[in-house]
């Protein structure tokens, strides 16, 4: 059974204070690992797909990396508009079309 654990559950940052979110996963064979952003009262919004260990993706102040057991979402010099819940999900090679989501990390960036 695919499993995803995200840590920490919540993170409070000062504007400009860089940090990292962790996503640990177990899956029989990884088809892909996905990061989403969710704003309060909204549906999740896709950010990145990572397919293999060593892969990295960047978008503005966000950078996602992948190893064989975990993924990190690095937030560099965050701004208040980066405040959101960040969700990690995996898709196994035997789980066509089905993603296993973690519970998310709630990030609050204060000015």
Partner 1 sequence: NAGVTQTPKFQVLKTGQSMTLQCAQDMNHNSMYWYRQDPGMGLRLIYYSASEGTTDKGEVPNGYNVSRLNKREFSLRLESAAPSQTSVYFCASTDGTGNTGELFFGEGSRLTVL
Interface stretch with partner 1, choices 17-25, 26-34, 53-61, 68-76 (CB under 8 A): 26-34
22 is a site residue for partner 1 (CB under 8 A)? no
30 is a site residue for partner 1 (CB under 8 A)? no
Buried/exposed code over 30-58 (b: 16+ C-beta within 10 A; e: otherwise)? bbbbbbbbeeeeeebeebbbbeeeeeeee
Structure tokens at 61: 């102040």
**How many helices (DSSP H) and strands (DSSP E) are in the chain?**
0, 11
11 is a site residue for partner 1 (CB under 8 A)? no
Strands 105-110 and 10-14: parallel
What element of type H or E holds 77? none
32 is a site residue for partner 1 (CB under 8 A)? yes
Q: Which of 10, 16, 42, 56 binds partner 1 (CB under 8 A)?
A: 42
68 is a site residue for partner 1 (CB under 8 A)? no
Query: What residue has token string 């190893």?
Result: 67
Closer by beta carbon to partner 1, 15 or else 25: 25
104 is a site residue for partner 1 (CB under 8 A)? yes
Site of interaction with partner 1 (CB under 8 A):
4, 31-32, 34, 41-46, 49, 87, 89, 91, 96-99, 101-104
């Amino acid at each position: 059974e695919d499993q995803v654990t995200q840590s920490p559950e919540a993170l409070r940052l000062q504007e400009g204070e860089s940090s990292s979110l962790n996503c640990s996963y177990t899956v029989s064979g990884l088809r892909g690992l996905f990061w989403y952003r969710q704003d309060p009262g909204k549906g999740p919004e896709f950010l990145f797909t990572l397919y293999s260990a060593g892969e990295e993706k960047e978008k503005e102040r966000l950078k996602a990396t992948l190893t064989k057991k975990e993924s990190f979402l690095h937030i560099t010099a965050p701004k208040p508009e980066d405040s959101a819940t960040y969700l990690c999900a995996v898709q196994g090679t035997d789980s066509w079309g089905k993603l296993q989501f973690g519970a998310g990390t709630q990030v609050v960036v204060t000015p």
